[in-house]
Homo-oligomer: A and B are copies of this chain.
Amino acid sequence: MRSRTGGWTRAPRRGIRDPQRRASTGGTVNPRYVHGYDQREAQRLQDQASTLVDLLHADTAYPDGHTVLEAGCGVGAQTVPLARNSPKALVTAVDVSGGSLQEARKAVHAAGLENVTFRQADIFHLPFAPGSFDHVFVCFVLEHLPSPVEALRTLKQVVKPGGTLTVIEGDHGSAYFHPDSALARKAIQCLVELQARAGGNARVGRALYPLLQAAGFTEVHVSPRMVYADPSKPDLVEGFTRKTFTAMIQGVRTPSVAHGLMNEQDFDRGIADLYRTAEADGVFCYTFFKAVARRGPATT
């Protein structure tokens, strides 16, 4: 059985059918993800986006009239802030999942945004001519791919020469906390391991610079976005430490136990220790990485 794992978000909402995996993944829903499509998961995604939106999006604003491809928009958690921050840019959001696109449409409509066009498509087979977009935006996608450089090369084709690519990814190896806990670290490592077995890389954030270089982008600039949550920031403790990160790790309990990575008791103690870092003397740290790079002139 292929393990179903994921990182920050549901792979299906990312519009990805990895070419190396397509034979086994088949249809429009990528099975390599462990979280369900239930209400709790939807809430987690929402909590995540509302907590992290400023940290991840505040410095992305595209000029009026510019065209932007969001590759792998999923349920629209990042599409809303993306389109809101660039209200006169023309956003095309693609995802491989029709169901996710429907959710994304609702979210964008509910936000009163009218500058987004949706289209069902696979990142590796985009229905766009080369150089169709001024910019490409991709968030929490590379973490799921065995061949992130190949994906970046494909995306580069649809960017105009001189246009930009923006990538945001997390890195689960960047998580540390107080009080420290070996079981909490081990529970996090379960997700890293499950994601690796599914062909992804939950620690891809730190590697954005070499990946973008390898894909032939120029002017690569990476800026880390550290989440530091101590009791003076109760919203972040609640929204990130508890409802986003710990909930995400808690979500892989079943496959972690099924794959023999941890027993139930230890896993639950690890989760309890993660929640412990959200208490009155706890601290939680995590870092996202945001990269902006340019497609060079026509020769590249």
The residues of A with any CB-CB pair to B shorter than 8 Å are 171, 173-174, 176-178, 180, 203, 206-207, 209-210, 213-214, 220-224, 226, 228, 230-232, 281-283, 285, 287
Q: Which chain B residues border A231 with CB–CB below 8 Å?
A: 209, 213
A218 smallest CB distance to B (angstroms): 11
Contact call A180/B203, Cβ cutoff below 8 A: yes
Report how far A180 CA is from B226 CA in the complex, Å.
20
- Chain A to chain B contacts (Cβ below 8 Å), 11 pairs: A174-B285, A178-B207, A206-B283, A209-B230, A209-B231, A209-B232, A209-B281, A222-B232, A222-B283, A224-B226, A224-B285
In terms of DSSP, what is the predominant structure of the interface of chain A?
Answer: mixed
Contact call B287/A285, Cβ cutoff below 8 A: yes
Report how far A46 CA is from B206 CA in the complex, Å.
28
Q: Which chain B residues border A180 with CB–CB below 8 Å?
A: 173, 203
Report how far A285 CA is from B231 CA in the complex, Å.
25
A283 in complex: contacting residue of B176, B177, B207, CB < 8 Å: B207
Contact call B281/A210, Cβ cutoff below 8 A: yes
A285 in complex: contacting residue of B206, B228, B232, B282, CB < 8 Å: B206
Contact call B230/A222, Cβ cutoff below 8 A: yes
Contact call B226/A176, Cβ cutoff below 8 A: no
Report how far A173 CA is from B228 CA in the complex, Å.
15
A178 in complex: contacting residue of B178, B210, B220, B230, CB < 8 Å: B210
Report how far A203 CA is from B203 CA in the complex, Å.
21
Q: Which chain B residues border A174 with CB–CB below 8 Å?
A: 176, 285
Contact call A283/B178, Cβ cutoff below 8 A: no
**Nearest 8 A/B pairs, CB to CB:** A210-B281, A209-B230, A178-B207, A178-B206, A224-B228, A173-B176, A206-B283, A226-B226
Report how far A292 CA is from B7 CA in the complex, Å.
34
Report how far A258 CA is from B283 CA in the complex, Å.
34
Q: Which chain B residues border A224 with CB–CB below 8 Å?
A: 226, 228, 285
Residue with the greatest number of chain B CB neighbours at <10 A, chosen from A173, A180, A206, A226: A206
Given contacts A178-B207, A209-B283, 6 further A-B contacts (CB under 8 A): A171-B176, A173-B180, A174-B176, A178-B210, A210-B282, A285-B287
Q: Which chain B residues border A221 with CB–CB below 8 Å?
A: 232
Write the chain B residue with the least CB distance to A204.
B178
Q: Which chain B residues border A177 with CB–CB below 8 Å?
A: 206
Q: Which chain B residues border A178 with CB–CB below 8 Å?
A: 206-207, 210
Contact call B210/A287, Cβ cutoff below 8 A: no
Report how far A47 CA is from B166 CA in the complex, Å.
33
